[in-house]
């Protein structure tokens, strides 16, 4: 009986097995080095705005949004003039309240979940727009020309945009 071929075949199989084991160990080690920071929430938000009544923000679907980790930006759109979208102002979370206005995103409301509705009064929108050029103010009832224009409401979670809504300015 000729046993010469057995040794090289077994040697190749052992080398292949050893290579696969080493590759699996390296893969597990390298995979553990990847940053495991939680992903930003994903959500569908609907926004309505009227100059007399203010803004209604509705969480339609998706993940709960931790209000302490979110920034809300109000930004005029190009319908308000050329270059308007470069302006924007962060909405102070104390102005985003529940329906009876006794809790806000900065005090009492810790997450914004599916089915939740939050509000910003027209008066509070006016207070928020301090950084936006006066000609882009859309909360002023005397500015009839802004009705029908739009602005953006943007939500950022740890500097990652999770929602951007174009909002029509209604009466």
Asked if 111 and 156 sit in the same domain, the reply is yes
Asked if 19 and 103 sit in the same domain, the reply is no
pTM for the model stands at 0.71
Asked if 122 and 78 sit in the same domain, the reply is yes
What is the tens place of the pLDDT at every residue in 45-56?
A: 999 998 888 899
Asked if 123 and 89 sit in the same domain, the reply is yes
If 0-12 CB within 10 Å is exposed, 13-18 middle and 19+ buried, where does residue 156 land? middle
| E strand or H helix at 22 | helix 6-32
**Predicted pLDDT of residue 134:** 53
Asked if 47 and 29 sit in the same domain, the reply is no
Asked if 24 and 68 sit in the same domain, the reply is no
Structural domain count, the chain: 2
What is the tens place of the pLDDT at every residue in 58-116?
A: 999 999 999 999 999 988 888 888 888 888 888 899 999 988 778 999 999 999 999 99
Q: Give the C-alpha distances (Å, rounded to integers) separating 156 from 56, 153, 161.
A: 18, 10, 4
Asked if 67 and 122 sit in the same domain, the reply is yes
Asked if 130 and 164 sit in the same domain, the reply is yes
Q: Give the C-alpha distances (Å, rounded to integers) separating 17 from 9, 20, 164.
A: 12, 5, 52
Asked if 23 and 73 sit in the same domain, the reply is no
In degrees and rounded to multiples of 5, residue 108 shows phi and psi of 115, -35
Residue with tokens 């009705």: 147
Asked if 55 and 13 sit in the same domain, the reply is no
Q: Which domain holds residue 14?
A: 1-36
Asked if 4 and 62 sit in the same domain, the reply is no
Asked if 154 and 96 sit in the same domain, the reply is yes
Closest CA to 137 of 48, 82, 76, 54: 76
Q: Residue 101: give its domain's CATH number.
A: 2.60.40
Q: Give the C-alpha distances (Å, rounded to integers) separating 79 from 82, 84, 111, 154.
A: 8, 8, 32, 17
pLDDT band at 34 (very low <50, low <70, confident <90, very high): low
What is the tens place of the pLDDT at every residue in 111-170?
A: 999 999 999 987 777 665 555 545 555 555 555 567 888 999 999 999 999 999 999 988
């Amino acid at each position: 009986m000729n046993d010469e071929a057995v040794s090289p075949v077994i040697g190749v199989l052992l080398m292949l097995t050893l290579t696969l084991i080493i590759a699996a160990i390296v893969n597990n080690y390298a995979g553990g080095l990847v940053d495991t920071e939680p992903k930003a929430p994903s959500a569908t938000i609907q926004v309505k705005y009227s100059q007399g009544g203010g803004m209604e923000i509705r969480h339609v679907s998706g993940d709960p949004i931790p209000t302490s980790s979110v920034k809300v930006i109000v930004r005029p759109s190009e319908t308000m003039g050329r270059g308007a979208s470069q302006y924007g102002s962060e909405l102070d979370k104390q102005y985003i309240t529940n329906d009876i206005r006794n809790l806000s995103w900065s005090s009492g409301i810790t997450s914004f979940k599916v089915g939740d509705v939050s509000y910003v009064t027209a008066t509070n929108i006016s207070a928020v727009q301090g950084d936006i050029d006066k000609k882009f103010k859309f909360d002023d009832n005397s500015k009839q020309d802004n009705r029908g224009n739009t602005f953006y409401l943007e939500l950022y979670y740890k500097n990652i945009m999770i929602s951007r809504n174009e909002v029509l300015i209604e009466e």
